């Protein structure tokens, strides 16, 4: 596990705390040693790695599956070498977005050593009807606008949204 990478992702997310965050993936660490391992052990998060509970607290994130399934044991990773099951794959989101969640589920382990965490959200009515955003056609022919786009630096600046 590349703890330096995990720590860098945590620092990047901390810098984006003003924006809603959706984050899913294989963190290679368990958040709760009692619930997230088939055999309780001492291996959870490592110093310098990404401590899931601390990250969630600092950024006001929630573990979507865990909120909907409190106390339940289910696993996203099978280690054949250690004969253990662990929940190390997460879907985290800003708590302000949680009201949009309709369901969360973990698939059964069948072929791979990892399975997905599925989250279904209700985003309302987007992308249809008269509310669909369109680029103003007159800007295609606006000489000043075209020149503006060609000047280096006009489109740079701080990122407002970031996919990690």
Mapping DSSP to helix (H, G, I), strand (E, B) and coil, where does residue 100 land? helix
Tell me how far apart the alpha carbons of residues 88 and 26 are, in angstroms, rounded to a whole number: 6
Q: Which residue has the higher pLDDT, 49 or 92?
A: 92
pTM, to two decimals: 0.65
Tokens at residue 78, please?
Answer: 């099978």
Per residue in 120-147, pLDDT (tens digit) is 999 876 555 555 566 777 877 888 877 7
Per residue in 7-22, pLDDT (tens digit) is 777 778 778 767 888 8
Residues paired with 37 in a beta bridge: 86
Q: What is the pLDDT of residue 2?
A: 59
Q: What is the mean pLDDT of residues 137-164?
A: 60
Q: Is the pLDDT of residue 40 over 70?
A: no
Which among 150, 132, 36, 155 has a CA at the least distance from the CA of 84?
A: 36
Q: What is the pLDDT of residue 50?
A: 65
Q: What is the pLDDT of residue 98?
A: 95
Q: Which residue has the higher pLDDT, 159 or 57?
A: 57
């Amino acid at each position: 596990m590349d703890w330096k990478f995990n720590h860098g992702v945590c620092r990047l997310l901390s810098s984006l705390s003003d924006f809603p965050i959706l984050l899913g993936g294989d963190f290679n660490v368990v958040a709760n040693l009692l619930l997230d391992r088939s055999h309780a052990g001492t291996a959870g998060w490592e110093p310098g790695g990404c401590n899931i509970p601390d990250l969630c607290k600092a950024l006001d994130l929630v573990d979507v599956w865990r909120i909907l399934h409190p106390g339940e044991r289910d696993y996203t990773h099978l280690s054949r070498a250690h004969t253990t099951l662990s929940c190390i794959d997460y879907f985290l989101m800003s708590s302000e977005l949680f009201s949009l969640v309709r369901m969360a589920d973990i698939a059964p382990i069948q072929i791979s050593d990892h399975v997905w965490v599925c989250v279904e959200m209700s985003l309302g009515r987007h992308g249809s009807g008269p509310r669909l955003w369109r680029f103003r056609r007159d800007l295609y022919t606006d000489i000043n606008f075209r020149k503006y786009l060609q000047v280096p630096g006009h489109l740079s600046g701080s990122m407002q949204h970031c996919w990690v």
